[in-house]
């Protein structure tokens, strides 16, 4: 009986080259077709572990933790100054799925900065914001806006303590006019005080107190009112 021999199937060379190209573990700098470069650890051909990414178009640098190709863990993101070309930190803190998540600090181009909690790339949770004019807000945030309970201190040291909603004073709160020596306590809605009580507070220490003290509210004839009620 004749023996039929079939030719052995040969595997394409690119299969072998692809296996060799699969990156796993620590690697030297790998360049993308866009010119971006990454130096660090890999797993199953994805950035995973510790590594540094440099984006060619912007010159930005991220150095820190990666997980399956995305920034995940602790790391810092910096960009070059357009004039001096020196690198300035934009964000240092925790990441999840390529977005800020957890505790971190962000520095804004205007000179303002925020330190506190993040969720899905937005300020959410507790945090402190330093504004350009010298004001400081410390309290709760939700989706990049003051929301919940918080305190806003102005450059002249006057301050508001109370509720916030969508970045505006909302609900019960107190406004300390320390420059005039007064305190307003009441209810706010969309940054506007709707009703409340204004009293003298620290008038003797105030730098520019009002001309006349606020008289205390009291009954002229409390005994007579009580007798009539009985």
Domain shared by 152 and 174, yes or no: yes
Domain shared by 153 and 168, yes or no: yes
Looking at 84, 107, 130, which one is the last position of a domain? 107
Domain shared by 55 and 92, yes or no: yes
Q: Do 121 and 101 meet the contact criterion of CB atoms below 8 Å apart?
A: yes
Q: Please indicate, yes or no, if residue 80 is contained in any of the structural domains.
A: yes
pLDDT attached to residue 4: 62
pLDDT attached to residue 215: 78
Q: Please indicate, yes or no, if residue 13 is contained in any of the structural domains.
A: no
Q: What is the domain count for the chain?
A: 2
Would you give per-residue pLDDT tens digits along the chain (230 residues)? 566 665 666 666 655 655 666 777 677 888 888 999 999 999 988 999 999 999 999 999 999 999 999 999 999 999 999 888 899 999 999 999 999 999 999 999 999 999 999 999 999 999 999 999 999 999 999 999 999 999 999 999 999 999 999 999 999 999 999 999 999 999 999 999 999 999 988 888 888 888 888 877 766 666 776 777 76
pLDDT attached to residue 220: 67
Q: Please indicate, yes or no, if residue 188 is contained in any of the structural domains.
A: yes
pLDDT attached to residue 62: 98
The boundaries of the domain holding residue 66 are 22-107
Domain shared by 118 and 211, yes or no: yes
- Strand segments (E) across the chain: 25-31, 37-43, 46-54, 61-67, 70-80, 87-96, 99-107, 113-119, 122-130, 136-142, 145-153, 159-165, 168-177, 182-189, 192-200
**Closest to 133 measured CA to CA, from 102, 116, 114, 110:** 110
Domain shared by 66 and 119, yes or no: no
Looking at 57, 82, 107, which one is the last position of a domain? 107
Looking at 73, 107, 141, which one is the last position of a domain? 107
Q: Please indicate, yes or no, if residue 12 is contained in any of the structural domains.
A: no
pLDDT attached to residue 156: 93
Q: Please indicate, yes or no, if residue 153 is contained in any of the structural domains.
A: yes
| 4 exposure class (CB count in 10 Å sphere: 0-12, 13-18, 19+) | exposed
pLDDT attached to residue 85: 87
């Amino acid at each position: 009986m004749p023996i039929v021999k079939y030719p052995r199937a040969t595997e394409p060379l690119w299969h072998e080259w692809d296996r060799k190209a699969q990156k796993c573990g620590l690697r030297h700098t790998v360049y993308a077709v866009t010119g971006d470069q990454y130096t660090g650890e890999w797993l199953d051909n994805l950035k995973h572990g510790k590594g540094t990414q440099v984006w060619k178009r912007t010159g930005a640098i991220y150095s820190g933790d990666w997980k399956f190709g995305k920034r995940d863990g602790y790391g810092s993101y910096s960009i070059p100054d357009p004039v001096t070309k020196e690198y300035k930190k934009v964000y240092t803190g925790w990441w999840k799925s390529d977005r800020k998540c957890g505790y971190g600090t962000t520095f804004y181009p205007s000179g303002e900065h925020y330190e506190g909690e993040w969720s899905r790339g937005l300020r959410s949770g507790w945090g402190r914001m330093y504004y350009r004019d010298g004001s400081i807000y410390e309290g709760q945030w939700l989706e990049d806006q003051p929301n919940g309970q918080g305190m806003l201190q102005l450059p002249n040291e006057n301050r508001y303590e109370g509720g916030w909603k969508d970045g505006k004073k909302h609900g019960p709160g107190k406004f300390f006019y320390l420059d005039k020596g007064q305190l307003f306590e009441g209810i706010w809605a969309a940054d506007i005080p709707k009703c409340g009580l204004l009293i003298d507070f620290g008038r003797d220490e105030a730098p520019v107190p009002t001309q006349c003290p606020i008289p205390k509210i009291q009954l002229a004839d409390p005994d007579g009112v009580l007798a009539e009620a009985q």
